[in-house]
């Protein structure tokens, strides 16, 4: 039984006129829809999407959270696994669903097109199987049962927190007096001095039974916009269900990494005006390397042994060790190095990465996303990571299996996973500004020995550089 296998989906990238708050403007869309069309599939299914770029801009599409075993070719990030689909160009992308079940999403992965080019992916349990949770029973509270397309232990919450890149599956029991009720959301923004939209957005839950709806139902309680503790209380409440995951949390780690996440500044190029502090330009980095995009994609360079596109020197540990979360830091530390440095990970390695946020320029939470794998979120904390004390607090029993982790402002978060998906995989902050400033790197997971542990052949219609 299949939802899609017979016909590929048609994704036509094109401009469409969209009206909001009484003004109409052209936006980039898929099939003229905003948000874009939903992809529905069963667990383990393979789906093809024919992408046809009828817009004036280059585009790539990424299937966020789809592991794509051995198939980095269809992953999508521009100049990482492919060159962009040019105006008029076509690319048939193959989505290999494996362990995913629940909700994830797809989005453009070139320039800032993601703002309007995105949509939902819903993966249902295999036909004949069912969901691993009972019906919820709460007064319009949310019962979270999954995150990033992996099930988690049901937990009932007044509020949830979701950062860019993350998805949540939650249940709501409509068992209240027939009426209208508000649900509400607003931004969590921890950076001091960074502007954000502080509006509260709402929707109404409307019961169909006959009733005269209250004109203005009361608003639910939401934590304050800068309540970091509330955000991480939520994240800490999410526990995994190990029985549903493909492998246990690795306890014997073969590859250790610590990666700092920093907002930086670089000098303003001559003759330009720059928007950073004291007329500088903003930048950002991982382990002090501000990533520079190559002009042909890294996957092609790796697969075809083209030299000069990237180098393998992504540092495994911070090249500069300082009090990362101190209130005042010397200005000289704010300037990163530039480079296209990737990390090489041997097939089958068990990897631990500690992401350490720094207070350079401005401390802020960073949602870090890995392509090509999910990982266990085994711990987080505030301040500098202490390699002696902090590992004692790791949850190695039932951590959630996710694809995007929010690293706390001036704090750290640790992930573990087994590198069993050969390919070229992007690793980046999912805040669009930080991504375009350089807070990213690439992990190349080498081929294993067996023939089913190697990267598949490229499709014939890979977009040309
Ligand atoms: Cu970031």
Residue extents of the structural domains in the chain: 9-124, 152-236, 244-453
Question: How far is ligand 1, taken at its centre, from the CA of residue 50, in Å?
Answer: 32
Question: How far is ligand 1, taken at its centre, from the CA of residue 441, in Å?
Answer: 13
Closest by alpha carbon to 344, among 445, 449, 455, 418?
445
Question: How far is ligand 1, taken at its centre, from the CA of residue 41, in Å?
Answer: 31
Tokens of 362: 């401005």
The answer to whether 453 touches 347, Cβ cutoff 8 Å, is yes
What's the pLDDT at 74? 98
What's the pLDDT at 211? 72
What's the pLDDT at 20? 84
Fold of 9-124: Immunoglobulin-like (2.60.40)
Question: 322: which DSSP letter?
Answer: S
What's the pLDDT at 193? 83
Element (H, E) at 357: strand 350-357
pLDDT band at 240 (very low <50, low <70, confident <90, very high): very high
Question: How far is ligand 1, taken at its centre, from the CA of residue 189, in Å?
Answer: 12
Question: How far is ligand 1, taken at its centre, from the CA of residue 372, in Å?
Answer: 20
Q: What is the pLDDT of residues 251-296, one digit of tens each?
A: 999 999 999 999 999 999 999 999 899 899 999 999 999 999 999 9
The answer to whether 381 touches 356, Cβ cutoff 8 Å, is no
Question: How far is ligand 1, taken at its centre, from the CA of residue 439, in Å?
Answer: 7
What's the pLDDT at 3? 63
Mean pLDDT across the chain, nearest whole number? 95
What's the pLDDT at 4? 55
Pick the CATH number of 244-453 from 2.60.40.420, 3.40.1160.10, 2.40.50.100, 1.10.540.10: 2.60.40.420
> Is 60 exceeded by the pLDDT of residue 1?
no
Under DSSP, is residue 423 helix (H, G, I), strand (E, B) or coil? strand
Question: How far is ligand 1, taken at its centre, from the CA of residue 74, in Å?
Answer: 25
Q: What is the mean pLDDT of residues 208-237?
A: 88
Domains 9-124 and 244-453 share a fold: yes
CA 330 to chain centre: 31
Question: How far is ligand 1, taken at its centre, from the CA of residue 214, in Å?
Answer: 41
Question: How far is ligand 1, taken at its centre, from the CA of residue 377, in Å?
Answer: 17
Under DSSP, is residue 452 helix (H, G, I), strand (E, B) or coil? helix
Q: What is the mean pLDDT of residues 115-139?
A: 92
Question: How far is ligand 1, taken at its centre, from the CA of residue 367, in Å?
Answer: 6
Q: What is the mean pLDDT of residues 199-228?
A: 87
What's the pLDDT at 6? 62
What's the pLDDT at 298? 98
What's the pLDDT at 2? 58
Element (H, E) at 231: helix 228-237
Torsion of CA 159, 118, 70, 430, to 10 degrees: -60
> Is 90 exceeded by the pLDDT of residue 5?
no
Q: What is the pLDDT of residues 324-336, one digit of tens each?
A: 999 999 999 999 9
Question: How far is ligand 1, taken at its centre, from the CA of residue 365, in Å?
Answer: 7
What's the pLDDT at 232? 97
Question: How far is ligand 1, taken at its centre, from the CA of residue 308, in Å?
Answer: 28
What's the pLDDT at 212? 77
77-81, 178-182, 354-358: which has the minimum mean pLDDT?
178-182
Question: How far is ligand 1, taken at its centre, from the CA of residue 19, in Å?
Answer: 31
Question: How far is ligand 1, taken at its centre, from the CA of residue 429, in Å?
Answer: 5
Question: 459: which DSSP letter?
Answer: P
Question: How far is ligand 1, taken at its centre, from the CA of residue 162, in Å?
Answer: 15
Question: How far is ligand 1, taken at its centre, from the CA of residue 432, in Å?
Answer: 8
Question: How far is ligand 1, taken at its centre, from the CA of residue 356, in Å?
Answer: 11
Question: How far is ligand 1, taken at its centre, from the CA of residue 38, in Å?
Answer: 27
Question: How far is ligand 1, taken at its centre, from the CA of residue 440, in Å?
Answer: 9
Question: How far is ligand 1, taken at its centre, from the CA of residue 156, in Å?
Answer: 29
Closest by alpha carbon to 414, among 393, 437, 388?
393
Question: How far is ligand 1, taken at its centre, from the CA of residue 366, in Å?
Answer: 4
Question: How far is ligand 1, taken at its centre, from the CA of residue 433, in Å?
Answer: 8
Question: How far is ligand 1, taken at its centre, from the CA of residue 284, in Å?
Answer: 8
> Is 90 exceeded by the pLDDT of residue 139?
no
Question: How far is ligand 1, taken at its centre, from the CA of residue 316, in Å?
Answer: 19
Closest by alpha carbon to 412, among 442, 386, 432?
386
Query: Rounded distance, CA 148 to CA 165, Å?
Result: 9
Question: How far is ligand 1, taken at its centre, from the CA of residue 311, in Å?
Answer: 23
Question: How far is ligand 1, taken at its centre, from the CA of residue 105, in Å?
Answer: 20
Question: How far is ligand 1, taken at its centre, from the CA of residue 164, in Å?
Answer: 10
Q: What is the pLDDT of residues 77-102, one digit of tens each?
A: 999 999 999 999 999 999 999 999 99
């Amino acid at each position: 039984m299949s939802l899609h296998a017979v016909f590929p989906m048609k994704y036509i990238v094109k401009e469409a006129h969209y009206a909001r708050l009484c003004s109409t403007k052209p936006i980039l869309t898929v099939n003229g829809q905003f948000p874009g069309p939903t992809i529905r599939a069963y667990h383990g299914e393979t789906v093809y999407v024919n992408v046809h770029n009828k817009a004036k801009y280059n585009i790539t599409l990424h299937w966020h959270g789809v592991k794509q075993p051995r198939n980095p070719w269809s992953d999508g990030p521009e100049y990482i696994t492919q060159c962009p689909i040019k105006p008029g160009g076509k690319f048939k992308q193959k989505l290999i669903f494996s362990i995913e079940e629940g909700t994830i999403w797809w989005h453009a992965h070139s320039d800032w097109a993601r703002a309007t080019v995105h949509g939902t992916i819903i993966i249902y349990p295999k036909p004949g199987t069912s969901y691993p949770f009972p019906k919820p029973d709460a007064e319009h509270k949310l019962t979270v049962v999954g995150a990033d397309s992996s099930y988690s232990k049901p937990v009932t919450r007044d509020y949830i927190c979701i950062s860019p890149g993350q998805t949540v599956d939650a249940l709501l029991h409509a068992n209240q007096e027939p009426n209208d009720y508000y649900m509400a959301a607003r931004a969590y923004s921890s950076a001091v001095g960074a502007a954000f939209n502080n509006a509260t957005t709402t929707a109404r839950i409307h019961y169909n039974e006959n009733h005269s709806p209250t004109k203005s139902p009361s608003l639910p309680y939401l934590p304050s916009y800068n309540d970091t503790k509330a955000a991480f209380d939520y994240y800490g409440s999410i526990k995994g269900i190990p029985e549903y995951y493909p492998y246990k949390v690795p306890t014997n780690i073969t590859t250790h990494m610590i990666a700092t996440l920093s907002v930086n500044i670089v000098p303003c190029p001559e003759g330009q005006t720059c928007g950073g502090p004291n007329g500088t330009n903003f930048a950002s980095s991982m382990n002090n390397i501000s990533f520079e995009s190559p002009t042909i994609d890294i996957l092609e360079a790796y697969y075809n042994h083209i030299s000069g596109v990237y180098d393998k020197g992504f540092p495994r540990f911070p090249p500069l060790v300082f009090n990362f979360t101190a209130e005042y830091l010397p200005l000289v530390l704010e300037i990163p190095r530039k480079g296209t440095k990737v990390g090489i990970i041997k097939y089958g390695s068990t990897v631990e990465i500690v992401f350490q946020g720094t207070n350079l320029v401005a401390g802020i939470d960073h949602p870090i996303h890995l392509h090509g794998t999910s990982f266990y979120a085994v711990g987080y904390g505030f301040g500098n990571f202490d390699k002696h004390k902090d590992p004692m607090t790791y949850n190695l029993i039932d951590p959630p299996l996710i694809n995007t982790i929010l690293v706390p402002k001036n704090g750290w978060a640790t992930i573990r996973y087994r590198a069993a998906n050969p390919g070229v995989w992007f690793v980046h902050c999912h805040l669009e500004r930080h991504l375009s400033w350089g807070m990213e790197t690439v992990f190349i997971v080498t081929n294993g020995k067996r023939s089913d542990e190697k990267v598949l052949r490229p499709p014939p219609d890979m977009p040309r550089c």
